Amino acid sequence: MRRKLISAAAVSAALFTAATATVAVAQDSTAPTDAPAARTEAAPGAPAERLIVGYKSGAAEAKSNKAADADAAAKGKEAGESLDFQRRLGTGAALVDLGEDLTKADVADVVAEYQADPQVAYVVPDRLNKPLATPNDTEYSKQWDLFETTAGMNVPGAWDVATGTGVTVAVIDTGYVAHSDLAANIVGGYDFISDATVGNDGNGRDSNPADPGDWTAANECASGDPAYGSSWHGTHVAGTIAAVTNNSKGVAGIAYGAKVSPLRVLGKCGGYDSDIIDAITWASGGTVSGVPANANVAKVINMSLGGGGTCSTATQNAINGAVNRGTTVVVAAGNSNANAANYSPASCNNVISVAAADRQGNRASYSNYGTVVDIAAPGGETATTANGILSTLNAGEQGPGAESYEYYQGTSMAAPHIAGLAALMKSANSALTPAQIESAIKTNSRALAGTCSGGCGAGLADATKTVQAVSGSGGSTGGTTFTSTSAVSIPDAGSAVESPITVSGVSGNAPSTLQVGVDITHTWRGDLVIDLVAPDGSTYRLKSASSSDSADNVITTYTVNASSEVANGTWKLRVQDTAAQDTGRINSWKLTF
């Protein structure tokens, strides 16, 4: 019998439901990154079946597959298990299979063997990720998310400057099912699903990213789980980004001059970190063993997927590699109405993490939130069908049927709005770096018309203002920036420390959208309270302590309404560690007026 991919606990809530439903994803919201569960589970309740092992650069196992295989066999012998080196990931890490029917205690024994090896930099489970959308048809007038004043992203004005021409966006998702309103903008991709059962197409990895459907029978993924029809999730995401426009049919894409490269990583019951890591690497121009060179390198990656647990070192390394190659990575914040800090890849650094807004400009009821969220974009609420996000789809319940259009809701729908915007920006100014793209999106955002409890980043993205800014025709690319790079240690459970910045040469008061960028290293950021102190001593709370925010580090940008404060003078970043056992430092911070 083939092993189950995930347990009942991992899929206890429906991933895809019609109309009024929302999404739950696998999570372990209270465990820190180094908790036993995080080290042993592919999803909560389900022991990991594979590990991702990163060796230090000088180790033989870092370069030699034979050495990595021998090391797996040796460590398996010590732990009393049969381990098998599977393949080398694009980041250089090794994927190790753990064999049959291991318990979490068995996995923990194997992990301990790797952790005890000084040549091992990290070892993490190959976790299962899920699409982040709740599905629920065909004219531009129905796409409120593009043009409505209240909560639309103000896209039409951006089209006067750019349409995405010359930019490829990689959609790392379920693949692509043929649709005449999208086909002209699809370029070659790849099927990265290495497990044939998950792939549901009769084989493992190949050059065909066609989506055969991800339907499941009752109990197929977990005991008690109902049957689900195919989601065609990747095709819906791709349509939001680059549906063909001005063709007298269907919907308009945000970056309709761009091309979409579909990369298939999600199938039956979800998809594994290891496949996603290779897709990130390959999409951005990196090398993946056994996969031909990418002829359609993407400058933007969209990942409308995720799972429980903070960002692993393995995933972070892949994202860092992509960003270093010049690719902007956009991710969904998640659909659990919870702190995004406890989800991956939403909690990873060097990404644009996107929360979802409803048609009234509130944080959508399902959307994750928190300090790791960078920006909000329309994600919809399908309790009223027309308030969802309309895009390309397919009517097949299992395999492909007739092409269609449907309203979906989710941060899965919000993320491609930002990926589309990033493509417009890159088309307008090809020299933009990922950091500049993120900064301009935040700087040119506007306040949500409604409310966002928990934090929605800099606000609601404004496509027109942002594209005008990066093209030099309006908006702001970020204004004048003042930076402190003097490191300040943060004492464990001690008094608050401060890092000063002296601002001069800025006339009048600070703006209502003062950008406060912080780079803080800390081994449990939930302990931290962070305040901005104005020259007159007024304080602005940036972050409160939270027992559930168990991830490392605070690397983000806050937006503060400091319009009542005189700009010139000495500003301070005040940080206090409120609990014991974890330490950190302020590496740098900056103010952008």
Q: Which of 471, 505, 536 is the last residue of a domain?
A: 471
How many whole angstroms separate alpha carbon 199 and alpha carbon 211? 9
Confidence grade of residue 14 (pLDDT, cut at 50, 70, 90): very low
Together in a domain, 414 and 378: yes
Q: Are strands 300-303 and 168-173 parallel, antiparallel or unpaired?
A: parallel
Instruction: Please check whether residue 89 is in contact with residue 116, taking contact to mean a CB–CB distance below 8 angstroms.
Output: no
Handedness of CA 363, 368, 374, 379 (dihedral sign): negative
- In single-letter form, the type of residue at position 146 comes to L
Question: Which stretches of 409-458 are DSSP H helices?
Answer: 411-428, 434-443
pLDDT at 211 over 70: yes
Length of the chain: 593
pLDDT digits (tens, 9 = 90+) for 508-561: 788 877 888 898 989 888 899 999 999 999 999 999 988 777 778 888 888 888
**Bond before 345 cis per omega within 30 degrees:** yes
The tens digit of pLDDT for each residue in 347-387 reads 999 999 999 999 999 999 999 999 999 999 999 999 999 99
Name the residue with tokens 């301070």.
Answer: 572
Does residue 523 fall inside a structural domain?
yes
Q: Which amino acid is at 136?
A: N
Give the chain's domain count.
3
Among 125, 160, 175, the domain-final residue is: 125
480: pLDDT strictly greater than 80:
no
Looking at residue 12, its pLDDT comes to: 25
For the chain, report the end-to-end CA distance as a whole number of angstroms: 62
Tell me what pLDDT residue 30 has: 29
> Could you give the CA distance from residue 341 to residue 401 in angstroms, rounded to a whole number?
38
Q: Answer yes or no: is 33 within a domain.
A: no
Q: What is the number of helices (H) and of strands (E) in the chain? A: 11, 29
Determine, yes or no, domain membership for 12: no
Q: Same domain, yes or no, for 107 and 201?
A: no
Residues carrying an active site annotation:
173, 233, 412
Residue 1 covered by a domain = no
Question: Based on the domain organization, do 245 and 113 belong to the same domain?
Answer: no
CB atoms within 10 A of CB 174: 31
CA distance 477 to 479: 6
The pLDDT of residue 3 is 27
Per-residue model confidence as pLDDT tens digits over 88-126: 999 999 999 998 888 988 999 999 999 999 999 999 999
pLDDT given at position 145: 97
DSSP conformation class of 146: H
Asked if residue 325 and residue 192 are part of one domain, the reply reads yes
Same domain for 285 and 198, yes or no, is yes
Can you tell me the distance from the alpha carbon of 520 to that of 525, in angstroms, rounded to the nearest whole number? 9
Residue 167 in tokens: 């930019």
Indicate the residue type of 9.
A
Q: Is pLDDT at 308 greater than 80 in this prediction?
A: yes
Extended beta strands in 349-426, E state:
352-357, 375-378, 389-394, 403-409
Crossing angle between the packed helical segments 104-115 and 65-79, to the nearest 10 degrees: 120
- Give the DSSP H/E element, type plus range, for residue 190: strand 190-191
CA 295 to chain centroid: 24
Which domain CATH number covers 500?
Answer: 2.60.120.260
Look at residues 442, 440, 446, 445 and name the one whose alpha carbon lies nearest to residue 428. Answer: 440
pLDDT at 506: 78
Contact 52, 313 (CB under 8 A): no
Does residue 39 sit within a domain? no
The pLDDT of residue 34 is 44
| Confidence band of 31 (pLDDT split at 50, 70, 90) | very low
Q: Any idea which of 19-23, 438-442, 569-573 has the lowest mean pLDDT?
A: 19-23
List, for residues 137-195, the tens digit of each pLDDT value: 367 989 999 999 999 999 998 998 999 999 999 999 999 999 999 999 999 999 999 99
Shared-domain flag, residues 467 and 552 = no
Q: 34: which 2 tokens?
A: 């180094």
Identity of the amino acid at 454: G
Average pLDDT over residues 24-33: 29
| Residue 381 domain-assigned (yes or no) | yes
CA distance 266 to 505: 52
Residue 186 lies in a domain: yes
Same domain, 180 and 88: no
DSSP characters over 63-74: T-HHHHHHHHHH
Q: With bands split at pLDDT 50, 70 and 90, how would you rate the model's confidence at 338?
A: very high
- Give the integer Cα–Cα distance in Å for 175 and 209: 5
Do 456 and 362 share a structural domain?
A: yes
Does a structural domain hold residue 518?
yes
Q: Which of 135, 159, 161 is nearest to 147 (CA)?
A: 159
CA distance 377 to 540: 25
Beta strands in 112-176 (DSSP E): 120-125, 128-131, 134-135, 168-173
**Which is nearest to 442 in space by CA: 363, 521, 350, 373?**
373
Mode of pairing for the β-strands spanning 259-264 and 168-173: parallel
Q: Residue 132: pLDDT band by 50, 70, 90 thresholds? A: low
Host domain of residue 355: 140-471
* Residue 357 Rama label (left phi>0; alpha psi -120 to 50; beta): beta
- The pLDDT-based confidence of 479 (bands split at 50, 70, 90) is low
Residues 467 and 580 in one domain: no
- In terms of pTM, does the model score above 0.85? no
For residue 36, the model assigns a pLDDT of 59
- Together in a domain, 425 and 511: no
Residue found under tokens 């059962």? 197
Q: Please give the mean pLDDT across all residues of the chain.
A: 88
**Is there a single domain that holds both residue 552 and residue 519?**
yes
Q: How far apart are CA 458 and CA 443, in angstroms?
A: 8
Q: How far is CA 291 from CA 24, 80, 211, in A?
A: 33, 34, 19
Q: Of 206 and 101, which is predicted with more confidence?
A: 206
* Residue 329 buriedness (CB in 10 A; 0-12 / 13-18 / 19+): buried
Cβ partners under 8 Å of residue 314, min gap 6:
52, 54, 89, 91, 93, 122, 124, 273, 274, 277
- Residue 150 sits in a domain whose CATH number is 3.40.50.200
Residues 6+ apart with CB under 8 A from 437: 328, 352, 422, 425, 426, 470
Residue 350 and residue 325: Cα distance in Å, rounded?
A: 12
Identify the weakest region by mean pLDDT among 65-74, 126-135, 176-185, 261-270. 126-135
Strand 190-191 versus strand 259-264 pairing type:
parallel
349 and 438, same domain (yes or no): yes
Of 432, 451, 471, the one marking the end of a domain is: 471
